[in-house]
Amino acid sequence: METSLRLLVVDDDEEHLELVRRLLSAYKFEVRTTSSPIGVSNLVREFLPNVILIDVNQPALSGDRILTLVRRNAKSMAKLVLFSSADPERLRQLAKSVEADGWIPKGLAPRELADQLRRVCAT
């Protein structure tokens, strides 16, 4: 039986947040979402996620900047993963430059997304 993982998703697209929440809940993730980067560090401290999935392209604050702020301010052991529809090579390089724990392209099948998140958490 798969262990339930706590996932926080940060994305400015409310519809995408709801879709990810529904899909990954079906794969036994406990999912919380936020469309605002403001207060993410507090939410991390309260929810204690295993993994944080952060959309790269956001209007208020870029995903790589959010990742850096969460790492500095939340003092969390959560895995930090960048998520984007950008070119996968560009996404990989960005994730490497900010020392993210992983990167995942948008548009994956739900099972593949769940599997990739579980793999990141297992490392």
What pTM did the predictor assign?
0.92
- Per-residue pLDDT tens over the stretch 96-117: 999 999 999 999 999 999 999 9
- Per-residue pLDDT tens over the stretch 6-22: 999 999 999 999 999 99
How many CB atoms are located within 10 Å of the residue 13 CB? Answer: 14
> The domain containing residue 100 runs over which residues?
5-122
Q: What is the CATH number of the domain that holds 89?
A: 3.40.50.2300
Render the burial of 46-67: b for 16+ CB within 10 Å, e for the rest: ebebbbbbbbbebeebbbbebb
Q: How many domains does the chain have?
A: 1
Q: What token pair was written down for 54? A: 């952060």
